[in-house]
Structure 1
Amino acid sequence: MKKLSLIFGLFAMLIVSSCRDIVNTVLDALPPFDVPFSTNVPVPLAAVSTTTYTRTPEIPMNINLDAKIKENNPNYSINNLKSVKLSTLKVDFVSSTLDTRLNAIRNARIYVKAPNQPERLIATAYDNTNPDTITFTVVDEELINYFRTNENSLIFEVMASTPTADQLTVRISSGFKIRVQL
């Protein structure tokens, strides 16, 4: 009798775990995918202090996730969005007015902004010495509420390594991991 109940218990666990795998597979019928964002933007750099952050104007992203989701599967929409997380972020030097390079920026913080949402810190870079690229450490946080609309933007805060005044043009490259379910 004990062997029969043990066999029945193992069989029941196998069925329950298999059903859970099937349900999860069906719910994730559209596997997670990346949505890249890349743009060249002018960044006014006017830092007289090397100990405080200077905020740049907002950089509009205007990512339309509804269109990106429909590109991957027309049966899904923004209403099926379950998760948005920043996966990568880097800034590359393009040009400057007075030949200032990115090593003029020692520390940087990037925030995401959307209507009716507080600004949220999403990436940081500290002790930069690279003149061509700043690679950011991204925060592993849910950003879904910032992308339910396509009115989203980034805000830079930079701390200069030396007092600097210049107009830089940089290329922002980022990737967002998107998960959609029924």
Structure 2
Amino acid sequence: MKKLSLIFGMLVLFLTSSCRDVVNSVLDVLPPFDVPFSTDVTVPFATVSTTSYTRTPEIPMNVDLDKKIKENNPNFSINNLKSVKLNALNIQFLSSQFDTKLDVIKNAKIYIKAPNLPEKLIATSYNNVNADTITFTVENEELLEYFRTSQNSLIFEIQGNRVSADKITLRINSGFNVKVQL
């Protein structure tokens, strides 16, 4: 009798864990997808020190993930959002007033901001020497709460290779991996 109850208990445990796997796979009806974001921005640019960081004004992104989710599957919305992670970020030089290029930036940090949330570091670049493009190392951070609203923005902190002041037009290219479930 003890063996029978042991076997029955193991069978229930096996069926329960198998059912959980089936439920989880059904919940993932919409596979994770990438949402690219690209924008051209003109920012006042100043590196006043080669030893400390200077912050740029907020750069609005206003990414509407609800719209992107519905484009992938109209049965889902922002309410089904389970995960958002940055998977790529780079900036490209487009133009400047005084011919200042990106090699003026030695180190850079990028933060994301949304209403009622603290700024969060999402990407860094160190020892840049490229004049045309800076590719950032992205942090493996969950950004879900920053995308529950479309009022999100980026803040750059830069440390210069030399002191400079200019107005630079950049293209920000990024990609976010989005996971949605019922």
Q: 1:17 deviation in Å? A: 4.1
Q: Does 1:94 align with 2:94?
A: yes
* SS of aligned partner of 2:19: helix
How much does 1:21 deviate? 2.2
Report the counterpart of residue 64 of structure 1 in structure 2. 64
Query: For residue 76 of structure 1, what is the aligned residue in structure 2?
Result: 76
Q: How far apart, CA to CA, are the structure 2 residues paired with 1:128 and 1:137?
A: 12
What residue number does 1:141 align with?
Answer: 141
Q: Secondary structure at the match of 2:145?
A: helix
The aligned counterpart of 2:105 is: 105
- Give CA deviations for 1:122-180 in whole Å, capped at 9, x if unaligned: 11101001111111111111111111111000011111101111111111001111111
Q: Counterpart in 2 of 1:174?
A: 174
Q: Look up the equivalent residue of 1:69 and give its one-letter code.
A: I
1:11: Cα distance to partner?
5.8
The alpha-carbon deviation at position 13 of structure 1 amounts to 5.9
How much identity, in percent, do the aligned residues show? Answer: 68
How far apart in 2 are the matches of 1:100 and 1:147? 33
Deviations 1:71-93 (A, max 9, x none): 11111111111111111111111
How far apart in 2 are the matches of 1:135 and 1:6?
58
Provide structure 2 residue ranges, at least 5 long, that are not aligned to the other structure.
Answer: none
Task: State the distance in 2 between where 1:50 and 1:158 align.
Answer: 9
Q: Distance in 1 between matches of 2:57 and 2:49?
A: 18
1:131 and 2:131 correspond: yes
What's the offset of the Cα at 1:22?
1.1
Count of matched residue positions in the alignment of Structure 1 and Structure 2:
182
Which residues of structure 1 form unaligned runs of 5+? Answer: none
Question: Which residue of structure 1 aligns with residue 53 of structure 2?
Answer: 53
Q: Once the 2 structures are TM-superposed, how far is the Cα of residue 6 of structure 1 from its aligned partner?
A: 8.9
Report the TM-score when normalising by structure 1.
Answer: 0.92
After TM superposition, give the deviation of residue 8 of structure 1 in Å.
6.7
> Quick one: which amino acid aligns to residue 20 of structure 2?
R
TM-score of the superposed pair, with normalisation by structure 2: 0.92
Q: RMSD of aligned C-alpha atoms?
A: 1.8
Alignment correspondent of 1:122: 122
Deviation at 1:15, TM superposition (A): 3.5
